[in-house]
Structure 1
């Protein structure tokens, strides 16, 4: 019998937002994979260990997949990550791979899962609370009402968007290109709220484009809402 790879979301930052299923899987399994060169320094570990101090005693796998736009290098990194995990699956050990938010939303884990599936192993996804749902809750903001549409964009890759479609927008991964993102937001005429480091000790909330600093951190999520009547 070979092991199972679980991709488990730990939520956006507040350890109380981890699901019971993610907590149970960590408790029941010894091999825990985390995305980074040092497992204990990853954000996912720092969130989860607050909910489960016993995580510190587990067999922690550091799965380093540096961010790059070189697709060949990216694929090599994902293959190496799959190699690390497969060694344990072959031995019949389950591996729980912890990832921020939900593993189905812009998660590097998904690339590793594809390689593992192609090698004939069984995998399972474990949903976590998404960053944009948590950010909306923290700011008391609805994401959509009635028949509104919701558009989710990785802002760093969509700097040519004018946010002109009807409905509301979520801009993820905004921090590295914040100056350009702010220009787009101002031109759009939308109501804007941003949460930086949602649920973490260094969380900050900004309630207008003018409030948002140009040097906002990587974990910055923006909700840009359509002004009522714009498309009525």
Structure 2
């Protein structure tokens, strides 16, 4: 049997290579791994339009997300039996995987299990998630002699050494981001969630401002700045113990759970409405979502403005005041600028509030800026 290992890209069918397209149009069997019995293969979803009118065999073996080797061996054995049973007599087969077969894919483990059946092998590269992320965000990953590193786990022994010596960093399925805040907290970053899919999200900001993602298909791109000026010492805040408040004494994760709720609601609004509406439409929709989540908020609440000890007679009215803790300003512009960020910081200072969110719904993906005083 001739086996093709095919990378189908990050999830966007239009990013499938022409060579992959041609092969998928002609193979006898397609093997599309999935993570559990109750989920469809994401790779198969990507190529559905290519194979929908074909009469080919499709096998979706389950390869669970676990480090338990005994359990994995059982699933690999079951996958072999399933492929042999359904693919008896097939001359060609394609194992499809998201991204590229050579990048953290199950393809080569699959090849080990089926090596005795493979007479000929061909591997077709695919677009990786991180190249799709930087392309969507329209930023260069590396230039000139810069060094880029891929970090699958920040707790790995060599991770900190690699982080320190690299110019750009790719964190796959990022977790435990608090471990790198001391090193990268002020660096610019882009969080890509489900890039390539219809409901993809891109969130930009400093590493210290970006909430840790919960979705498996997440990638964090960090592009170190060239500014060599010493960074100011972090302000020392008193540790709070209530859920959702300070995570550490630097105040970097103030009201983390609450801001995650707000951003999650905003993502849902953007998924449903997309871009193109005026700000008041998004304000109405976001208010509706927050009500569904039972998050307390007030619209256009009047806040006192202070100059030193002087109370200014006029009031400031944020779009939303959430739980009397977070100011939310809603925008519908082509892109957030330093002007909007400066305004938000001034609002926080003048009202003696601590946390503010800028949410811009007019871009292809929701644009989020989180600011803390």
Shift of 1:217: 1.1
Q: In structure 2, what is the Cα distance between the partners aligned to 1:68 and 1:83?
A: 21
Q: In structure 2, what is the Cα distance between the partners aligned to 1:75 and 1:121?
A: 23
Aligned counterpart in structure 2 of residue 195 of structure 1, from 192, 196, 202: 192
Q: In structure 1, what is the Cα distance between the partners aligned to 2:119 and 2:72?
A: 22
Q: In structure 1, what is the Cα distance between the partners aligned to 2:69 and 2:48?
A: 33
Counterpart of 2:141?
Answer: 143
SS of 2:76's partner is helix
Q: In structure 2, what is the Cα distance between the partners aligned to 1:219 and 1:30?
A: 29
**For structure 1, which runs of at least 5 residues remain unmatched after alignment?**
none
Counterpart of 1:172?
Answer: 172
Q: CA RMSD in A?
A: 2.7
Counterpart of 1:205?
Answer: 202
Q: In structure 1, what is the Cα distance between the partners aligned to 2:33 and 2:203?
A: 29
- Bigger Rg, structure 1 or 2: 2
Q: In structure 2, what is the Cα distance between the partners aligned to 1:17 and 1:186?
A: 37
Q: CA offsets, 1:121-179, max 9 Å, x none?
A: 432211111111111100111111111111011136649833212321111122xx3xx
| Stretch moving more, 91-100 or 101-110 | 91-100
| Stretch moving more, 117-126 or 24-33 | 117-126
CA distance 1:225–1:35, shift in 2 (3 Å): same
Shift of 1:58: 3.2
Counterpart of 2:290?
Answer: none
SS of 1:213's partner is coil
**For structure 2, which runs of at least 5 residues remain unmatched after alignment?**
229-373
Shift of 1:11: 0.4
Q: TM-score, normalised by structure 1?
A: 0.84
Contact 1:9 1:100 in 2 (8 A): yes
Shift of 1:52: 4.4
Counterparts of 1:1-232 in structure 2, within 5 Å, are 3-36=1-34, 37=36, 41-54=40-53, 57-87=55-85, 91-118=89-116, 121-155=119-153, 158=156, 161-162=159-160, 163-174=163-174, 177=175, 180-185=176-181, 187-188=183-184, 189-208=186-205, 209=207, 212-230=210-228
Contact 2:29 2:87 in 1 (8 A): no
SS of 2:47's partner is helix
Shift of 1:93: 2.6
Contact 1:79 1:112 in 2 (8 A): no
Q: In structure 2, what is the Cα distance between the partners aligned to 1:148 and 1:127?
A: 24
CA distance 1:221–1:94, shift in 2 (3 Å): same
Q: In structure 2, what is the Cα distance between the partners aligned to 1:22 and 1:66?
A: 25
Q: In structure 1, what is the Cα distance between the partners aligned to 2:210 and 2:227?
A: 26
| Stretch moving more, 185-194 or 62-71 | 185-194
Q: In structure 1, what is the Cα distance between the partners aligned to 2:2 and 2:104?
A: 22
Q: TM-score, normalised by structure 2?
A: 0.54
Q: Which has the higher contact order (CA 8 A, sep 6+)?
A: 1
Contact 2:59 2:86 in 1 (8 A): no
CA distance 1:165–1:86, shift in 2 (3 Å): farther
Q: CA offsets, 1:35-67, max 9 Å, x none?
A: 125698211111111444325x53210111112
